[in-house]
Amino acid sequence: MLYSVVRFQKAPPVPRFFKEGLTLDHFLLRAQVISLYRQIVRCTKGMDKSNAKEIIHWARADFERHRHETNIVM
């Protein structure tokens, strides 16, 4: 019989925001944000590469800038 060796490693640290858990509103908004980002990336498919790259870079920078925002105001 062959036995496999299982190595136990520590899991990566969980971000502080997730330790408290997401509220339903935060969870739904997160899904909308991810959907919006994917839609932006899809819209750049028909463009020339330099413009598409610039738009994706701009969108990602904008999303990263607001990454840790927790105040939901609609």
pLDDT digits (tens, 9 = 90+) for 8-66: 667 666 666 556 677 889 889 999 999 999 999 999 999 999 999 999 999 999 999 98
Q: Can you tell me the distance from the alpha carbon of 43 to that of 51, in angstroms, rounded to the nearest whole number?
A: 11
Please check whether residue 45 lies inside any domain of the structure: yes
- For residue 8 the two structure tokens come to 């136990």
Please check whether residue 74 lies inside any domain of the structure: no
Please check whether residue 31 lies inside any domain of the structure: yes
Please check whether residue 2 lies inside any domain of the structure: no
Please check whether residue 8 lies inside any domain of the structure: no
Contact criterion met (CB below 8 Å) for 52 and 44: yes
Contact criterion met (CB below 8 Å) for 59 and 15: no
Please check whether residue 10 lies inside any domain of the structure: no
Q: What is the pTM of this model?
A: 0.67
Tally of domains in the chain: 1
Quote the pLDDT of residue 5.
55
Quote the pLDDT of residue 72.
82
Q: Can you tell me the distance from the alpha carbon of 51 to that of 55, in angstroms, rounded to the nearest whole number?
A: 6
> Residue 35's CB: how many other CB atoms inside 10 A?
10
